[in-house]
Amino acid sequence: MRAVVQRVTRSSVTVDGVTTGEIEGGLNVLLGVSAEDTEADAEYMAEKIANLRIFEDEDGKMNRSIIDAGGSMLCISQFTLYGDCRKGRRPSFIEAAQPDRAVVLYEHFMSEVRRLGIEVASGVFRAHMKVSIENDGPVTLIIDSQKNF
């Protein structure tokens, strides 16, 4: 499982002109699911992202998690995070999970985040979405349950 995590002051997603998810302050998470991922990957990613100390404390140091900061999360499914661009000009998405498997793990990830006490908004799986992200910092991290960056 792979995620692009951004600390945001606000973020929203619309589908066909209708807002399906919106947050004020917290994390925007673009989440990709690989063909190799399991529920353990979703649980690892939920714990890892929820406990990242990337929010400022009273001294201005990045020392607080989204849980500590009381923020929300907007989670957007993003199979293109598994696009392999090494050969040719068109990305290969062979590493991405098939939609029926990906949706289960995407939902499991969000369920685990909610279990940790974080409010989660989301896009619509497999829909064409327009995402608005107001990055705070900017702070952007890439996390992969299978690799160490």
User: Which position among 78, 109, 125, 146 bears the catalytic label?
Assistant: 78
Task: Respond yes or no: is residue 55 known to be catalytic.
Answer: no
- Residue 90: exposure state from Cβ atoms within 10 A (0-12, 13-18, ≥19): exposed
User: What are the backbone dihedrals phi and psi of residue 112, each rounded to the nearest 5 degrees, phi first?
Assistant: -65, -40
Could you say which of 38, 80, 98, 146 is catalytic? 80
Active site includes 80? yes
Active site residue 109: no
Of 6, 14, 55, 79, which is the active-site residue? Answer: 79
Query: Rounded distance, CA 100 to CA 139, Å?
Result: 32
Catalytic amino acids?
A: 78-80
